[in-house]
Structures are given as structure tokens and as C-alpha cells.
Amino acid sequence: MDFIDVKYINLISSRLPKFKKVKPHLYNFRCPICGDSQKQKNKARGYLYRVKNNTNYKCHNCGISISFNSFLKDLDPETHKEYVFEKFKDGKSGKNFQTENPEDIFKKLDTSKPTFKKKIVIDLPDAFSVDQSKRYLMDRAIFSGTYFYAENFQEFVNSIKPGSFDNPKFGEKRIVIPLVRNNKLIGVQGRALSSNPIKYLTIMLDDDAPKVFGLDTIDKKLPVYVVEGPFDSTFINNSVALCGSDGEVSDLEGSDKVFVYDNEPRNKEIVARIERCIERGERVVIWPSNIRDKDINDMVLSGHKVQEIVESNTYSGLQAKLKFTTWKKI
């Protein structure tokens, strides 16, 4: 975190509810993107923090994790222009200033309005009935599942949780992934179909519910695989997905859990999570050295038999520590 980042954090601090400096290079406030907890106005789960020489933003409510550059661009485009100018003038550039290539836009087809377990009516078309979302899913070898399509994600979220979004930036097309627990809709995750750098947005209808996808479909008597994203869970039997890296799995207490993290030995957060799992005595998948793909979906697209790989590379205890030490060096 350099002096320019600190300068602009201070400039916008008055616009961030419950803003406070926790310690050098760590700032806390209510998330301006998801609005944070609607029940408890004193909860502040948004953080700006240093990662090497850069500054990142993370919300422990909606799960958003983006660079400060993207955060500022969303919060105040005019101030962001000044920030970028100062950065480049000072010779700072790099990945935080790159923009993603926009995805193809496809024609919308005739839609239906499926219901969910008779408890909740999701007044949206099935994602497989709309060309754009269907193409996105099928390009990733996802041919089934309970996913919906929102033409305007902001309007949809505000219809099920009023006041969630004021920012029109989120009035965009997203695949909607329902989070269900005990036949009740507890939240939704939206996957952007545009070039929005905030690829995933998680909105909880119940602030106390776990941010976990798939709780309604698993058999707790069998091994339960805990993966990182809902789409990854499509390819693993009896699995749930953490909708945000800080999702907790208290609902799975007593179950035989196997944690399956992305194959990124250079990612410090993932390395730390695997290490914590091993220290807790949990079972965890350590990817073999011949697998170069970063996540389960990429492995499937590369032709790997992921279920077999996961089952044959699950470890715990001392064996997990030894395999983990080797994996980190790849």
C-alpha cells in the first residue's frame, strides 16, 4: 500500500459508513456495494488491506474481493480518474489497471418462470432457456443445474431484499445461483455475464445463514466435498460450495468432510486455508503435480476425470502435511 493509495482512502473515508483505521494498512467500514447487514447497522465487514505493494478490498458479507483500483472506480468514477492519473504519473501500473475483455452478448430466447421447492418462487427464467446464460454454462461443460437468469440483477435483488442495491452499476445481466437451506431460499449469488470486474456478488436474505451452495442436495451420511464455487460443485459428487472464501460449514458438523481448494500453490490465501484444514485434522485434496489447471472447471475442460483425481488424492494428518509441502513447491 503506497502513499497514493493511503491518500485516496482518506479522501473517500467520509463516504464509507463506520469507517475506521484498524492499524497501518488495514481499514474497516460497512460495504458500500452490498450495503452490509440490513439487520445490524453497526456491523462493518468491508476491509481495505495491503497485499505486497497493492491494496485490495474484501467484504466478508457479500464475498467481493477486488483491487482498490476497481473499488474506487465503482464508488467514485471522477475521483478514480484522478487516482489513476497520479498512479501513472508516479510510474505505478500493472495488473490492477488492466481491464477484462467483454464477453459475447447473445440473443434472449423465450423464457419460463420455474419455482423452487414450492417454498420460494424465483420470478426469473431458467438460465438454460436464455441464449446468453445457456451459452456461458455450456461453454463450461455445465449442462444441468438449478440456475436462473436476471436481465437486471439490481432489480431482482431489490425485489427479494428491498434496499439491497442503490448502485445502478449492478443493473446488469447475471446468472442467479440460489442458496437453499431446509427448502428455504437463504441467499443468491450472481455471476456477471459482462466485463464487470466484480464477477460474483452474494446477497444473503438471512444474515445468520451460512454462505453455502448445495446444502439441500447432499447426503450427510456420505463424504461431503467442500469446493470453492457453485459451478465447480457440478462436477463433484455430493458436494457443497463456499460462496466466498470465508464461508463456514457449521451445518456439516459431524459429516465426513473433504475440502477441495483451487490448485494455486502461489496463492497465499489458498495455501493458508489448506494449512488450517490440515492443522484442524480435516481431510483435504492435494492436487498431483501433473495437474496444471487452476480449478475444477478448467480440469474438466482439459479432459481430466476430476472425481477420480479427487478421491485418489485426499489426505489428512502427517501424509497431508508431506503432500502439502511438496505441492507448495510446484
**pLDDT tens digits, residue range 24-64?**
889 999 998 888 877 788 889 999 998 877 899 998 888 88
Check whether 95 has a pLDDT greater than 90: no
pLDDT band at 102 (very low <50, low <70, confident <90, very high): very low
Indicate whether 292 and 247 sit together in one domain.
yes
* CATH number for position 41: 3.90.580
Do 168 and 128 belong together in one domain? yes
Between 31 and 96, residue with greater pLDDT: 31
Distance CA 158, CA 142 (A): 28
DSSP state of 126: B
**CA–CA dist 26, 15 (Å, integer):** 17
Give the residue with greater pLDDT, 4 vs 131.
131
Nearest CA among 205, 194, 138, 203 for reference residue 171 = 194
Residues 80 and 141 in one domain: no
Per-residue confidence (pLDDT) for residue 42, from 0 to 100: 85
Q: What is the pLDDT of residues 255-279, one digit of tens each?
A: 889 999 999 999 998 999 999 999 9
| pLDDT(115) > 60 | no
Asked whether residue 112 carries a pLDDT value surpassing 50, the answer given is: no
35 and 90 together in one domain: yes
Number of helices (H) and strands (E), helices first, in the chain? 10, 17
pLDDT for position 123: 86
Q: With contact defined as beta carbons under 8 Å apart, do 215 and 249 qualify? A: no
Judge whether 188 lies within some domain. Answer: yes
Model pLDDT, residue 87: 78
The highest-confidence range among 20-34, 155-169, 286-300, by mean pLDDT, is: 286-300
Domain housing 258: 224-328
- The model scores a pTM over 0.75: no
Which of 185, 209, 233 is the endpoint of a domain? Answer: 209
Q: Which residue among 30, 65, 97 closes a domain?
A: 97
Average pLDDT score over residue span 156-161: 90
- Higher-confidence residue of 146 and 169: namely 146
Which pLDDT score is estimated for 24?
Answer: 84
Same domain, 251 and 291: yes
Cα(153)–Cα(63) distance, integer angstroms: 16
> CA torsion sign, 188 to 189 to 193 to 194?
positive
Separation CA 106–CA 130 (nearest Å): 9
The residue among 209, 237, 266 that closes a domain is: 209
How many structural domains comprise the chain?
Answer: 3
The answer to whether residue 219 sits within a structural domain is no
CA distances from 193 to 124, 134, 176 (A): 16, 11, 11
Q: What is the pLDDT of residues 64-84, one digit of tens each?
A: 888 898 888 888 888 888 888
Is 262 found in the same domain as 228?
A: yes
User: Is 169 inside any structural domain?
Assistant: yes
Residues in the chain: 330
**Is residue 109 in some structural domain?**
no
Alpha carbon separation from 256 to 73, 219, 283, 285 (Å, rounded): 43, 11, 8, 13
Whether 205 and 233 map to the same domain: the answer is no
pLDDT at residue 89 is higher than 70: no
pLDDT at 121: 62
Question: How far apart are alpha carbons 197 and 148 in whole angstroms?
Answer: 21
The residue type of 243 is C
Residue 103 domain flag: no
CA 265 to chain centre: 19
Q: Which residue has the higher pLDDT, 58 or 107?
A: 58
How many Cβ atoms sit within 10 Å of the Cβ of residue 132?
A: 20
Q: Is residue 107 domain-resident?
A: no
The one-letter amino acid at 254: G
> Cβ–Cβ contacts within 10 Å for residue 111, how many?
15
Is position 102 within any domain?
Answer: no
Q: Is residue 110 part of a domain?
A: no
pLDDT in tens, 188-205: 999 999 887 788 888 888
Region 122-145 average pLDDT? 91
324 shares a domain with 237: yes
Verify that 89 and 31 share a domain, yes or no: yes
Contact 195, 222 (CB under 8 A): no
φ/ψ of 14, rounded to 5, equals -70, -15
Among residues 63, 200, 192, 189, the alpha carbon closest in space to that of 136 is found at 192
